[in-house]
Every structure is written in C-alpha cells, then in structure tokens.
Amino acid sequence: MYPRLVVDLKKVEHNTRIISDSCKTQGVDIMGVTKVFCGFEKIAEAEVKGGIKFLADSRIENLMKLNDLSAEKVLLRLPMISQASEVVKYADISLNSELKTIQALNDAAKKQGTIHKIMLMVDLGDLREGILPNQVDVVVTEILKLDHIKLYGLGVNLTCYGGVIPSEKNLGQLAEIADHIEKTYDIQLEMVSGGNSSSYYLVPQEKLPKKINNLRMGEILVLGRETAYGDAVEDMHDDAFIFEAEIVELKEKASVPTGDIGMDAFGNKPTFVDKGIRRRAILAAGVQDVKAAQLIPMDDKIDFLGSSSDHMIWDVTDSEENYEVGDIVKFKLEYGSMLSLFTSEYIQKDFI
C-alpha cells in the first residue's frame, strides 16, 4: 500500500548502540527522543535494545503509547498545567521552567501518592525554554519547599530555536550552575543534561564538561548525523527510514504555467524558471502527508518542483531511470519530512 514509510528496526538499533556506547565512554547516558516518529512502540523498543534507559517525548499521548517499555519516561515539552495529572501519571521526569507549573505538578503528585521528578531548564542563550542563570537561587529555593517534587537534575536546550551551538563554554556554564546548586543546597543532582543531538560532536572530541552526564538524542539515532554541523557519524545508517511514493501521472509539459499567475492552494504566489519542455512525474502524496522539499531522492537525477495538498511534482527529465506510471520512487529523509510522514495518518508504516 502506497504511499508508505519503511522502517528498518535493526538499523535503528544499530545506530542507537553506536551512540550509546560512544557516550558511555564519557560517562554519559542518553535519552531516546521519540517525538519525530510519534512514539511508535516498535521503534522505541529498537532504541531500548540499543542501550536506551530513558525514552523522551514532547507529547503525553506518545508517552502513553510507551507505557509498557522498560525505560524511564521523560516529558520534553514544558508541561501544561491543564495536563498536570497526566504528566505525573505517565512521565517519570518532566522538564520545567515555571514555578506555577511545578506547584501544579506537586499538587497532582500529592493526590496520586507519588513523587514527581523534574529537570530544571536553564536558558544559556538559545532563547527557548529555561530560567535565566541569575534566577537559579530564587527558583531552586522554592522548588525545595515542595514535598512531592524531587529536583532530579538540570538541563539546557540549544540549537532548536536560536541555533546556538553547544560548546565547552556554554555547557561549562551549565556544569558550574549544577555545582553551585549542589554545594549551596547540600543536594545531589542525578542528571545534568547537556542538550540534544547537536551536543554529540563534543563527545568524540572529549570536550564535553565532566559534569554533563546526559544527552537527549533524537535525530542522530534515526538519521545518523549530529545536528550542530549536520555531519554524518561514522558507521551509522542514514537509510533506516525510506519513504516510497507511486507515480500517478508522467507527462512532458512546459516548465512555466500558461496564463496570469495568482495564488496557489496555500495562498502563496509561485515563481517559475523557464526550462522548456520537461518530463514531470506526479506522485500520490502531498503537503497533507510530507514536507516534500525535505525529501532526499535516492535517484539523485530528479528534482522537486512543488506540491499541492495531495500531489507532489518531480522533474525526472535527467534521470537514467525509465519511469512509468505505477512505478515507485524512493526517498531518504530529513528530520522535517520524517516528522510529517509519521504524523500523517494517510501514510502506511511498515517495519522490517
């Protein structure tokens, strides 16, 4: 059934084991971030087999799918107060930056007769979530007053919003803040999480500050590359996930539409380059299914032209393949295209 996404679970497990083993040499555990594949249990299970002890996601709904897997569950997105009860029930740990939310989690944990672990996020310049360093003492003092919250650790997020590269300097600052908290309040932080896949490049270089003992890994496990500079990691697979779409029309047509150009289906005014008559393949998948511009065709002689809701158009003029209607075109993925494919209910997901 097409369009479909084919997942090689052995390759996912292999990728995970390489990163997990590499990080262990530096005393670092990793979280497997499951949000890009919407918490599909089979893929998360492959990551657990590869050495994952923590499974992390931005959506409680995805953590609920993973409830039976033997790994601690972590909520990555800052909790919503309206979901405090669900957060405590389905997440062992949550990332937090707001005292009002932490108080709500404390109340929910009290009702459920449990202790909820939190990681306090610190903003070190990327300007997404986190308290500012000069707020640490005020916030930690209030957290330690709560009887159903455990301050489990400290974390930072980098590159996701502002594109700030993790470095010895900014991660060193996180380590210093962790040391300050432990000495000032006579507590032990069990986890100091130094970011995501963009921090991995520091591991082989042995430049990760010693206090950092956790990284939250998503893209690197599924696509085989770190995300600070986009470099492939040696011996890892970039083809564990393959998208396949069927050609439903194949015709030679002009490269510029005829008539006055207005808005397309999404309110944009498109522009075109006149390349003459080109052989154009329409594939049965569109914007509702995938970010087509972030697909990587395995036939590198074809070029993306555009998408509507249910169709995407590729220029196959220069391809050495003799495509016909009904043929299947295969693609490797970028992070954005993978996320959209897993989110679409119209894409068949097959596991091998």
Residues with a catalytic annotation lie at 35
User: HEC states along 297-347?
Assistant: ECCCCCEEEEECCCCEEEECCCCCCCCCCCCEEEEEECHHHHHHHHHCCCC
The phi, psi pair for 294, rounded to 5°, reads -105, 20
Structure tokens at 287: 């914007």
Decide: 37 and 73 in contact? Cβ < 8 Å. Answer: no
Decide: 229 and 205 in contact? Cβ < 8 Å. Answer: no
User: What are the helix and strand counts (H, E) for the chain?
Assistant: 9, 16
Decide: 332 and 239 in contact? Cβ < 8 Å. Answer: yes
Element holding 56 (H helix, E strand): strand 54-57
Furthest CA-CA distance within the chain: 74
Q: State the amino acid at position 245 in one-letter form.
A: A
Structure tokens at 197: 């896949």
Q: How far apart are the first and last CA of the chain?
A: 15
Rounded distance between C-alpha atoms, residue 334 and residue 46, angstroms? 20
Rounded distance between C-alpha atoms, residue 152 and residue 148, angstroms? 12
Helix, strand, coil fractions of the chain, as percent rounded to 5 = 30, 25, 45
Burial of 285 (0-12, 13-18, 19+ CB in 10 A): buried
Structure tokens at 157: 């997020």
Decide: 209 and 148 in contact? Cβ < 8 Å. Answer: no
Structure tokens at 318: 């220069």
